[in-house]
Structure 1
Amino acid sequence: MAHAKAHIGETPWRTQIVAGGHAITADEPAALGGQGSGPAPYDLLLASLGACTAITLKMYAARKGWPLQALDVELHLTGSPEERRIERKLFVTGLDDEQKARLADIAERTPVTLTLKQGLAIDTRLA
């Protein structure tokens, strides 16, 4: 199963993350007191959804033998804290309109999409 660790030291708000064996730096922009040395937490959330969407749709097209040349996923987090939503736009190259529509349908059921839509319990404890 997925695993990640995050460490923050004295540098505000720079956070070192190791996820899936890969090092990532997260930070807040200067306007929020950070140095902008990495994506902010919500940017990382969108990146996860974008990666899952792109990978899942590429796999689906490959299984179908479709001539998918390129797929770009654009994501925006919008709304107030009480009414947040993610707007996702797919840019598909190499497929006909019916195939594109099928990919848009599949995008609604990628693993990260379903997790975000259904919510996820988080259990927190001190080590």
Structure 2
Amino acid sequence: MTPQDTTLLAAAVVESQDGYAQAIRTGKHHFPSDEPAALGGTDQGPAPYQLLMGSLGACTAITLKMYAARKGWDLSPLTVKLKLFREKDHTERVERVLSCGPSITEEQRARLLDIAAKTPVTLTLSRALRIETTFAPASP
């Protein structure tokens, strides 16, 4: 694969803090992550799975708003509710529930469901993302 075959979609730097707390930087944005107290953290920010659901929900809402704007549809108020479940067989699934304003018809809702299934983060998660992990060289 050559460099021109690859597009950088996102980057983040995560610096570990006390306990399970983490400081996340993505571009000019800084935010915390942590585990809840029940899991040994100090609940200083959302847990990793909460961040994942937030990412999926944000991508869904942004994509639907872009589509609706092109069509001249008023989605207000648009809400995306998400729940991540692990089944007994260890597979995972997400329940995603959309709600929007009363001006959207059943036909439009059906189209929005089609669009939601094709959002960038939805497609990434659906493809079972490959993760390559290496260690950086040791610092002197």
Q: How many angstroms apart in 2 are the aligned matches of 1:30 and 1:66?
A: 43
| Letter paired with 1:29 | P
TM score, norm. by length of structure 2: 0.86
Instruction: Identify the match of residue 116 of structure 1 among 101, 117, 125.
Output: 125
| Alignment match, 2:107 | 98
TM score, norm. by length of structure 1: 0.94
Percent identity between the two aligned chains = 53
> Any unmatched runs of 5+ in structure 2?
1-7
Q: How many angstroms apart in 1 are the aligned matches of 2:81 and 2:31?
A: 21
Select the structure that is richer in strand.
Answer: 1
Runs of 4+ displaced beyond 2 Å: none
CA RMSD across the alignment: 1.2
Query: What count of residue pairs does the alignment treat as equivalent?
Result: 126
Larger radius of gyration: 2
Residue 4 of structure 1 and its aligned partner are, at CA, apart by 0.3
Select the structure that is richer in helix.
Answer: 1
Residue 95 of structure 1 and its aligned partner are, at CA, apart by 1.0
| Letter paired with 2:78 | L
> Any unmatched runs of 5+ in structure 1?
none
Instruction: Identify the match of residue 116 of structure 2 among 107, 110, 114.
Output: 107
| Alignment match, 2:3 | none
| Alignment match, 1:84 | 92
Q: How many angstroms apart in 1 are the aligned matches of 2:40 and 2:113?
A: 38
